[in-house]
Amino acid sequence: MEHPEYDTYEPIWISPQSIQSKYVRKRGEIDLSHRFFGMKFRPVHFNASTNENHEPLQATNNNSVHPKPYSSCALPIDFQDRVTIDLIGYMEGYEFEGGRADNFIIEVGAGRMIPGFEEGLLGHKKGDRFELHVTFPNDYHAASFRNKDVIFKINIIDVERRYA
């Protein structure tokens, strides 16, 4: 399938914990990926002779077009909440490189973390401190982390939810 309106497609990693890549629009030397993060588009078929747009461009996710604002809440964490955390990861009793983050923002249920991480946040509230035990997947991009059990010490700083 050809996309003449795009010069090139560049793979962008969603997060260090993810092996999935997304392709984003790139024109010349200007990277526009930050403007399209999380949005999905379909090609537009435009007939110049009749000035008709046969297949209008639509975002596939209504929240991408007009997102509802997030508001802090004291409710337990649920899917689609935006959670700000501090975390420290330990493997075999030692803090591992890349396993520490302050004010790290996660959208719960987006699938950008290793399996079990986002689910482990469910039910906790702002101010909670706890340990989360997870295992890196067998197909993780860094071979030294594959199938390794880790413990994350987590401090929940804020829980934000979108309201209708």
16 confidence band (pLDDT: 50, 70, 90)? very low
User: Is 152's pLDDT higher than 90?
Assistant: yes
Residue 18 is predicted with a pLDDT of 42
- Does this model's pTM top 0.75? My answer is no
- What is the sign of the dihedral through the CA atoms of 68, 73, 78 and 81? positive
14 confidence band (pLDDT: 50, 70, 90)? very low
Residue 49 is predicted with a pLDDT of 54
pLDDT top residue among 141 and 163 = 141
C-alpha–C-alpha distance, residues 57 and 17, integer Å: 32
Q: Which residues lie closer than 8 Å to 128 by C-beta, 6 or more apart?
A: 154, 155, 156
Q: Where are the alpha helices (DSSP H) in 78-162?
A: 117-121
